[in-house]
Structure 1
């Protein structure tokens, strides 16, 4: 068991080093082939490094808070806070992120355990989708990234709550409730942990709470920061190497821009505590609605989340969630484009 944990740590460090190495080699090769000049390379480096430096403090803060919650807050405590009244329950589940800020990687197994203990599926889904957005660390990072556009913070928080409740209600209405929506064994449940940022329950019995918190924080930071690096790389490429004419032609189209930014959010799989800094770089070239779609979809659905959904929920339920999330976020993003087009939101 201990050897497995050591192997996972080494694997995370290897992936981390490989991403950095591939980026460095690619840039050097492009420079050698004279595909990019020195000025372009300097501009790329400035954008790339600035995104990482802005995002890392919030990842560190989020990792520490997530570790504290993992150690000191139980699922039973979360379940007790959710109101028993159905209407108030959905609202309460959507607002729990203000009290228990957990990353999107850790929230899926928590939601699974709550549902397994009797929480209605719709409330569990609402909790799972809202927490990574309605989160003090996430909203603070969004405010910091969009310092001159505070409306983005309000739209992300407000529409995030609306989307989570709507999807939770849709799931609640379309599920019969007779059979369990969960798979018999959750994603990596045999090891007592569900994601690369969690600590092993068996080994935790022999460690102090401080050691567990530090280990959890380090592992979550390593797990998440590689996505930030890759996202910063893609963003810097868009800003410096992709022709402005191509970006403008795609970014100015209301529907196409939404599709592109939602696809980007899914593929990049950036932690919600740092994705605002990536989204900010596209604001001057893509529509407001498409950037909002990027900020809403990523915490709810990306590559790593999809695998975790498929690993924890039955295929039919996971498929519904994927469809509902994509559809609701697209509608919200399109509606935002209409509002901003008429000058309602600045």
Structure 2
């Protein structure tokens, strides 16, 4: 969950305290906000942290130390936003923005090799800092997802066309990371159907298409999939009530994290109020073996103690989510 509190890419002391506050209230695993890999075209939004040697690595070390001191684990989420960047230097599979217009330039093989290497270098640095794993951000219309989505991937080479071909770059990133971090370091891969402000977008229309995308990524060395949905309980396809997380687990046999409006009953984005939703669907789907872990975003932004309250059955005591509360409860 991007907080825009880094200074020149370096995590601030405010960020150190932010992660520590959430770790001390019962979270088992923290996945950081999106963190740019160390390549000039990865992003450019002010306040977003980067994972690079030097002062940024030192600051992330303090984050890891504080989280571990509270008996929680932490993954670094590695991010390249591709054509979601409004700069003319943006790169993407086909030089196409999320709205379908020509934007930036299409990636050459040299570009793809360079980006794969940057993801691997960031993962190695995360491992050396003491992170417990990394998450590769392949969701929401950012660079890797732009390869997975036929709207932004018009390539005519082996990285475009069929679903397995569109998954090739994601698999290359994962395998590059796996080669460098060794066999035991956890790698999470985050994916989604929807994109930023494009909630009806889909990378797969059927379970078979989803399998064709996810199985090569799994085989490349993924440890766990993070299935990002707007609402975790909604069916992924019309043929059954199985969720996106449930399908990912069923199709790949891999552990899966479910996420999407956990505990909230309001709008996905904006300033609308989101009250506390019943959690019985979460329990039911867990018992149905549709996921192994569950993640919370907005609930934790405004309530650092959300997990403690959940475990005590005291959700009624928590602050109702409003967009404007995010800064107040940073």
TM-score exceeds 0.5: no
In proportion to residue count, which structure has more strand?
2
Measured against the shorter chain, the TM-score band is under 0.3
Q: Answer with 1 or 2: which has the greater Rg.
A: 1
TM-score scaled by length of structure 2 = 0.27
